[in-house]
Structure 1
Amino acid sequence: MQTKPNKSGGRIANVIIIPLVTLVFLSVVSIFVLMHWSARISDGSAKQSQLQLISGALQLVADDIAKQQSGVVTWDAAFYIANARHLDKEWVFDNMTHWLYANHGFTKSAIVGTDHEIRSVYSHDQNNSWLTPDILAQMTPAIAKARARYITSFKKTPSGLYSFEPSQRDKRYSIYETGILTLNGEPHLFSAAAIARQLQSVIALRVPPAVLISLTPLRGEKMAEITHMTRLDGFVLANNQNSREGIGQYLLRAPTGKAVGVIAWPVGRPGTQMLKRINPFLSIAAFMIAAVVIVVAIATRHMTKRLAISESRAVHTSRHDALSELPNRTHFHRLLSDELEKSKEDGSTTAIVYIDLDHFKDINDTLGHSAGDQVIIAIAKRLKHVLMDNGIVARISGDEFAMVVPNCKSDEWLDYILDQIQDEIAQPIKIGARELHATLSIGAAIAPRDGLDPDELLRKADIALYDAKANGRNRRSFFEPNMEDQVQSKDKLSRELRLALKNDELSLAYQPQSDTAAQRIVSVEALARWTKEDGTVVSPAQFIPVAEETGLINDIGLWVLNKACAKAHDWPDIVMSVNVSPNQFKHPRFVEKIMAILAANNLPPHRLEIEVTESVFAGRNDTVLKALRRLKNLGIKVALDDFGSGYSSLSYLRRFPFDTLKVDRDFLSDMNGNPEAEAIVVSIIQLGKALGMTIVAEGIETIEQIRFLQAHGCHRMQGYFISKPLGEKELAQFLDDFKAENAGNIGPGLSYTLRAAEA
């Protein structure tokens, strides 16, 4: 009797076999994945271990060259010679730089002075031009660290002096810093070490040390040392290396972070070797790879799409200003270059325009940076609206924009475009409930008329912008060759002025101030003068504005103060009056500097009078007022110069009690029988008297002016009628003659002139 197949048994078999097969299948896949994962970890660990070996060996080699260098940097003779005013280069060559090459293979060396100047450069092949700005820039962070470690190793003692006490943990790093840089395409090891005494003594001030930099090629002997230490074979030193399977890479970086080379070597791969042995047993899982690849491909596709979107956003962010959404400086330069290439091909004319918001800082100072940001956004939208798609608008810096106007048919056509821009900007800008009005200064350069190089055109547009601002703002200027001549002339004058200050070529002239009766000289005003070595006299009207623009006015102002206070002892009964620039008040320790000058010259504060103009209050009222009050509390007299030439003098007189009020010379020169001008002078005198101030009239040139001032009770007089500005010897003679004349020895002096006029 035959039996029928047991369908239920088949079903049971399926229930058992299918899960079992599935379980085995999943187990094999799991083992496959686990083995590959383990292999990767093993390979990665091996590679990481070898990277650490190379890093450690490289550090040991670097430490070794620093120790080799230490023999010449920790040396009393080296310390004093390196810091001498005139460096003994032969001694440095024999005992430091060439000695390091001859004994330790340092092919190049240099000494950087305490003020970051390059004092000595050495090369074994006598090519001393190797120390380029790029090479120095690569080493700058290391030099700074070596200096900082040396300085911070000096600890302040209870006596106020400093003792050399480096941290025990970081003791070996106290004076040097090592690193890698690229020189002529070749990686070099270098050591930057502070040049120090052998035995550090107690010092009063911590000053930056001179630093010795020594270089040795990494290729060759040093590479062999690394190979010997790591016991790894197959090292290759290259500028760059493409990533390849089984090849390890140790990236060499300069202290600035810049990649300067790579050490490549064949990496031991124990995990991969293990896989080769067991792969035959895992071949049954091969069909799963396709599925995994598909899954990975799908995931990669989605990931790539997301990365593409992120990259697009990142590129846009890197090329555009975050606030205004306009192209930034870098992107604008690229767009300008492309536009100039197009104009060169089709022979068209392109305008490059620089735009600067007038007095934008005042908006930030008065309304805050949030309001300033809203103004920038509004200006950006309006500029884009006017230019539409016919050009390029970019934000170059805080309140500076730039434009490219292609197909510029003529200067008149560009004038029309700029008119539209200024008309658009002139419309009120609403910031909350407040309406602001902005104006623009504009400078333009035209290609190819003014050149085709992007940087040259931008420079010329900037020169034109400077001309527009210098001539009153809220206007435009097109570049003209004479503008560049003016800029170069001003730059030359600035450099000559800096050198003149350094070489003590400046001098002082002193203009006396008498009392109204001309019986006594009560004050002299110190005035800076400049005569070049060739005898050329440079007017203060020329060099003082240049000093203001370049920041030299701070050094010149302090020099004048110090010189005037020193000379004040020659005339003990006279107040020394010195003009102070608005820029000097921006220095946070300006008052302390004046106190130090008075102390150094042993001059009582009441013998000094500081003269300021109303412009000193612009933008920094509270800071300036605090500084002036401190000066006044010290006993220093404070005078308001050129009173009446500004627009808000009365508010300053109310907020700060000046000691002296100087009537602007323009009011006196306008009198000449003019009742309106005379009324203004009388009003100023009465106002100053009502506020308890001393009134000084400047620019006295006639006896009639003196009579008028006497009649209305002016306290002091100054001008060419009394005396022109005099040198030290001439002033001393003038004072002697003045005293003799007022003592009864009548001569052709001022008192005699006044008495004769009265008679």
Structure 2
Amino acid sequence: MNRSIKNSGGQIASAIVFPMLIVVMTSVAGIFGLMNWSARLSDESAEESQHKLVGGALQLTQNYIAKQQTGVVIWDEAFRAVKDPAANDRWIRDNMMNWLASNHGFSKSVLFDADFGVASVFSQDDDSDWMTKGLIEEMAPAIAKARARYITSFQPTPSGLFRFVPQGETNHHSIAETGIVSLLGEPHLFTAAAVVPQIQTVFSDREAPAVLVSLIPFRGQKLNNISDMSRLQGFVLAQDQNDRHGVGTYALQSPRGKDIGVIAWQASRPGTQMLQRINPFLAVAAFLIAAVVIAVTLFTREMTKRLARSEAKAVHAARHDALSGLPNRSSFQALLTKILDEGEQNGTNTAVVYIDLDHFKDINDTLGHSAGDEVIVGVASRLKQVLPSNGIVARISGDEFAMVLSDCENDEWLEYILDQVQDEIARPVKIGRREIFASLSMGAAIAPRDGKNPDELLRKADIALYDAKANGRNRRSFFEPTMEQHVQSKDEMSRELRLALKNDQLDLAYQPQSDTDAKKIVSVEALARWTKEDGTVVPPSQFIPVAEETGLIDDLGIWVLNKACARAHDWPGVVVSVNVSPNQFRHPRFVEKVMAILAANDLPPQRLEIEVTESVFAGRDDSVLKALRRLKSLGIKVALDDFGSGYSSLSYLRRFPFDTLKIDRDFVSDMNGNPEAEAIIVSIIQLGKALGMTIVAEGIETIDQIRFLQVHDCHRMQGYFISRPLTSVALSQFLHDFHNENNEQFAENLQHQAKRAEASSAG
């Protein structure tokens, strides 16, 4: 009976609702089509106006530089100078060309004599190689017009002579010809004008003139002037420009029609903007109309339809995400399996794309979870908008989405679709008055190339996603077999490292730091080392990042700290420095762990120095600052390692309580004979001293470096010239030798090497 009522209600809906919906939807579609057509016409008209506006601004700029050149080409003294067979080239360059460069920015000039030969060439950088036959050939039409305009300015007099009356004085036209040429790959504006007398002079015959051509770079002030006059957004100068939606272009050509470059700008699209404002209202109106039609038609079958709606809602809730309305993980798995089966039957490719919102946790932490929910809803809506008709998008978890694209033609087609996705998400999401900018990282796997099983494809898409995030986020990666090998290798290394920590199979090396005079070892830096049982040495550059990513850095850091503090008693009076990851600082009980290690090893806090890199500044995390201050209050020294290679700023140096500033080894290695590197090092030393910090230079390898740092009073030095990293036993012997019988010998050796270096320089 219920089935009969339900079927009856469905028949009524089919007979009444569907035709009415077709009429309504046809009307709405017609309105939408008309609005889109009107918007397109409006956009085209606006772009044409902007093109004319740029052309007008360019013409005004060319007229202006021609006017600037007038001061030297309409001048009796210049006219006589260029007509003189024994012309003074220095006078011409100083009083004409150099004057234009100094007063109006014309970086290059060339004077052509009456026979169209090059009489004088000028460049601000004193390089005359810029004047080439090809450049003359490009400017030849403009020069010819300037010469012709001069000759036709002569008017015959009754006495048979010719009176020079410039055309510019009678018809308000410029005496110059302007244009654009490419010089060394860069567009330059030029103005070409005949050198003429100031007064209306009488000549016995008409003669060809000397022509002065002056060039000024287009990029820079002139381009800014055009941008200011046109008031267009995103104004740039490029060699070429592909047609892109929303980008207007103006082609630049030489007098002979050769393409030089384009001016591009962000085109104003009033039609599209109007459509974006009106479409939501039209959509709401269409929805309301459809809702009224359905409500009126189905009123008599409300009970039957209520049951049907309840069933549909239950099914939808089971298959869709409640927040975004997208299919959920289980539904996505089923849909993916179905699409893969169809693709295998039809012999087509299917793309599986994993999507992850970058830094979504920061949004939740700073703005609250309600704002995060709105971002999820906004992103889901945009993903559905740009999704092709043959695609499916689902929400997998909190900030993770997944897409399936059937009939994937090739990698280029998929890249185009993912470009659209990233462009759409790049627009800000508005939450109240706040604009939130989101970005996506995406990883893609393609069947059957990367596999046929749904789980396998999802796993490989996830591996590609990890690669995208590891390479800077806001990008996409396609799965490659090497990625899987990398993941497996990293996973294997993580398991081996965990086991090595558990079995105490790691070791420490210690690199000494000497004082300024290299006469005393004041500190040693503890460095983690890992040699496997089979003798394979794993560099720290490999296992430290793995420890960071897998969370093992906490255990590794505590192990290093405990080991270094335990051995510190072997070297009385020497400070032990230990590198600490920013992630360790964020552990709520990190400071307590440090205190416990000092207590367990009976080591005074003043004997311990904690080294951090500039990455502590990246997150602007107050918990790191609090931990650093607590450590310093205990008497523990705090050092900033690799200064100058990352996020450093003076405000951070003032906020964070650093005792020691370590100059990055790249600056030290580059300073030999490099004034810039030496100036940077001196500035860092002075900066650190001004803030009351101890300065340590890393990477010392030559006597010249030591002497330079001694002159500028660097407090400590560390590097292979002092000593390579040593085992604890070797360090004890090194300290004994250094501070006793070998100390004077070491100092004498330094002086001997210094004298040899001075003698070599003098020779």
- Which category of TM-score, normalised to the shorter sequence, fits these structures? 0.5 to 0.7
- 2:671 matches 1:671: yes
CA distance in 2, matches of 1:396, 1:459: 13
Match of residue 326 from structure 1 = 326
Match of residue 520 from structure 1 = 520
Match of residue 727 from structure 2 = 727
Contact 1:514 1:716 in 2 (8 A): yes
Structure 2 regions of 5+ residues with no counterpart? 1-300
- SS of the equivalent of 2:740 reads helix
CA distance in 2, matches of 1:745, 1:711: 21
CA distance in 2, matches of 1:748, 1:502: 47
> Any idea what the Cα deviations from partners look like across 1:483-515, whole Å, max 9, x if unmatched?
111111111111111111112110000010111
Match of residue 713 from structure 2 = 713
Contact 1:557 1:580 in 2 (8 A): yes
- Which has the larger displacement, 614-623 or 470-479? 614-623
CA distance in 2, matches of 1:647, 1:726: 31
Correspondence list, 1:72-471, <5 A: 306=306, 309-471=309-471
What code does the residue aligned with 1:371 have?
Answer: A
What code does the residue aligned with 1:477 have?
Answer: S
- SS of the equivalent of 2:326 reads coil
Match of residue 259 from structure 1 = none
- Which has the larger displacement, 693-702 or 387-396? 387-396
1:741: how far off? Answer: 4.5
CA distance in 1, matches of 2:672, 2:323: 58
- SS of the equivalent of 1:701 reads coil
Correspondence list, 1:570-589, <5 A: 570-589=570-589
CA distance in 1, matches of 2:414, 2:500: 44
Contact 1:609 1:636 in 2 (8 A): yes
Match of residue 561 from structure 1 = 561
- SS of the equivalent of 1:682 reads helix
> Any idea what the Cα deviations from partners look like across 1:609-629, whole Å, max 9, x if unmatched?
001122234436211111111
CA distance in 2, matches of 1:644, 1:747: 31
1:745: how far off? Answer: 5.0
Contact 2:738 2:746 in 1 (8 A): no
CA distance in 2, matches of 1:722, 1:671: 18
Contact 2:443 2:461 in 1 (8 A): yes
- SS of the equivalent of 1:602 reads coil
Cα distance change on mapping 1:756 and 1:510 into 2, 3 Å? farther
Match of residue 202 from structure 1 = none
CA distance in 2, matches of 1:332, 1:752: 75
- SS of the equivalent of 1:518 reads coil
- 2:535 matches 1:530: no
Structure 1 regions of 5+ residues with no counterpart? 1-300
What code does the residue aligned with 1:645 have?
Answer: S
> Any idea what the Cα deviations from partners look like across 1:261-314, whole Å, max 9, x if unmatched?
xxxxxxxxxxxxxxxxxxxxxxxxxxxxxxxxxxxxxxxx99886565334323
Match of residue 498 from structure 1 = 498
> Any idea what the Cα deviations from partners look like across 1:159-187, whole Å, max 9, x if unmatched?
xxxxxxxxxxxxxxxxxxxxxxxxxxxxx
What code does the residue aligned with 2:662 have?
Answer: K
Match of residue 162 from structure 1 = none
1:743: how far off? Answer: 5.0
TM-score (norm 2): 0.58
Contact 1:519 1:751 in 2 (8 A): no
Match of residue 117 from structure 1 = none
- Which has the larger displacement, 745-754 or 404-413? 745-754
Contact 2:512 2:521 in 1 (8 A): yes
Cα distance change on mapping 1:304 and 1:510 into 2, 3 Å? farther
Cα distance change on mapping 1:443 and 1:524 into 2, 3 Å? same
What code does the residue aligned with 1:602 have?
Answer: D
1:389: how far off? Answer: 3.1
1:750: how far off? Answer: 5.5
- SS of the equivalent of 1:397 reads coil
1:752: how far off? Answer: 6.5
1:375: how far off? Answer: 2.2
What code does the residue aligned with 1:506 have?
Answer: L
Cα distance change on mapping 1:648 and 1:331 into 2, 3 Å? farther
CA distance in 1, matches of 2:477, 2:362: 24
CA distance in 2, matches of 1:569, 1:750: 30
Contact 2:671 2:677 in 1 (8 A): yes
1:753: how far off? Answer: 4.9
Match of residue 485 from structure 1 = 485
Cα distance change on mapping 1:617 and 1:577 into 2, 3 Å? same
Match of residue 511 from structure 1 = 511
Contact 1:386 1:420 in 2 (8 A): yes
TM-score (norm 1): 0.58
Cα distance change on mapping 1:592 and 1:610 into 2, 3 Å? same
**Number of residues of Structure 1 aligned to a counterpart in Structure 2:** 459
Contact 2:509 2:725 in 1 (8 A): yes
Contact 1:746 1:752 in 2 (8 A): no
1:469: how far off? Answer: 1.6
Contact 1:575 1:607 in 2 (8 A): yes
Contact 1:443 1:476 in 2 (8 A): yes
Match of residue 738 from structure 1 = 738
- SS of the equivalent of 2:657 reads coil
Contact 2:617 2:647 in 1 (8 A): no
What code does the residue aligned with 2:461 have?
Answer: A
Contact 1:468 1:475 in 2 (8 A): yes
- 2:695 matches 1:695: yes
What code does the residue aligned with 2:416 have?
Answer: Y
Match of residue 26 from structure 2 = none
CA distance in 2, matches of 1:527, 1:754: 31
Match of residue 255 from structure 1 = none
> Any idea what the Cα deviations from partners look like across 1:451-472, whole Å, max 9, x if unmatched?
1111100000011111112222
Contact 1:741 1:751 in 2 (8 A): no
Cα distance change on mapping 1:586 and 1:743 into 2, 3 Å? closer
- SS of the equivalent of 2:396 reads strand
- Which has the larger displacement, 419-428 or 481-490? 419-428
Contact 1:519 1:742 in 2 (8 A): no
Contact 1:426 1:438 in 2 (8 A): yes
CA distance in 2, matches of 1:501, 1:474: 35
CA distance in 2, matches of 1:480, 1:748: 58
1:316: how far off? Answer: 2.0
What code does the residue aligned with 2:435 have?
Answer: E
CA distance in 2, matches of 1:751, 1:564: 33
- SS of the equivalent of 1:490 reads helix
- SS of the equivalent of 2:484 reads helix
What code does the residue aligned with 1:503 have?
Answer: N
Correspondence list, 1:618-657, <5 A: 618-619=618-619, 621-657=621-657
Contact 1:518 1:751 in 2 (8 A): no
Match of residue 189 from structure 1 = none
What code does the residue aligned with 2:351 have?
Answer: A
Cα distance change on mapping 1:651 and 1:333 into 2, 3 Å? farther
